[in-house]
Amino acid sequence: MALTLADQIRRFRVLAKDAIEPYRAKTVDVVDSLNDAQVQGCIRGRLLVADGDPALCEIAMVGGQQVYPLHPALYELIHLRITSAGDKPRTVVLKSREWLDRERPGWRDCDVPAEIAIQDDTSLRMVGAVKNGETLRIEAYRLPLAPMELDTDEPEIHGAHHEHLIQWALHKAFSIPDSQLFDPERAALSERAFTRYFGPLPDSDLRRITREDVVHHNEAVLP
């Protein structure tokens, strides 16, 4: 069942026993936590996919340029391919710098058509040559494009997930020392409920590993 922002705040206040004004949890803080919850859910559960939206998923290649910024909403790439008029599309696979140094010495000076890329935190480094007129097409897991602000706003994720976002807001509210709602036990219970539903948050090492294709179906042959 889809829930508006107002619905989520109301349910939060009922569960937090904070339904009578003056509220112990400021509404602005609850809204921030609910927006954080949607971001957390997207990262943990890989809930939103960018595929086919030119603003997010297409990068115009420029001859001689190797590094390109990724859209801020993209955090884990699924598939890359380069297309151009008259040419057959070619798949681009992700590798790490460490892998390339070990398996493809000289990759930094490679001038064959790019079929490998390195994903950094906010950018993509093409390995090999690209040219004007080529387009990099991306499929990726993404974050919400805009925060909820209005009472009628709804999370971008499927309505079936909405009620579970409230557990994160409860966790944050119960975790603030010196607040009237401070309750470490309830904070831990709410966090466990959120994690049980959306899964654990991957650490930076795991996210780094996902930036490299482990099974290499299409490897470029570099000199």
Q: What is the pLDDT of residues 39-52, one digit of tens each?
A: 999 999 999 999 99
Which residue matches tokens 């949607």? 38
Residues 115 and 31 in one domain: no
* Domain interval for residue 116: 48-142
Q: Which residues contact 149 (CB under 8 A, 6 or more apart)?
A: 5, 31
Residues 78 and 91 in one domain: yes
Residues 137 and 166 in one domain: no
- Among 91, 122, 142, identify where a domain stops: 142
- Among 119, 142, 165, identify where a domain stops: 142
Residues 74 and 113 in one domain: yes
Residues 132 and 82 in one domain: yes
The mean pLDDT value for 164-173 works out to 98
pLDDT surpasses 70 at 56? yes
Q: What is the distance between the alpha carbons of residues 109 and 39, in angstroms, rounded to a whole number?
A: 38
Q: How far is CA 172 from the centre of its chain?
A: 21
pLDDT band at residue 215 using 50, 70 and 90 as cut-offs: very low
- The verdict on residue 89 lying in a domain is yes
Domain count within the chain = 2
Percent of the chain with pLDDT over 90: 88
The Cα-based distances of 111 to 93, 115, 117 in angstroms read 16, 11, 13
Residues 22 and 103 in one domain: no
The mean pLDDT value for 62-91 works out to 96
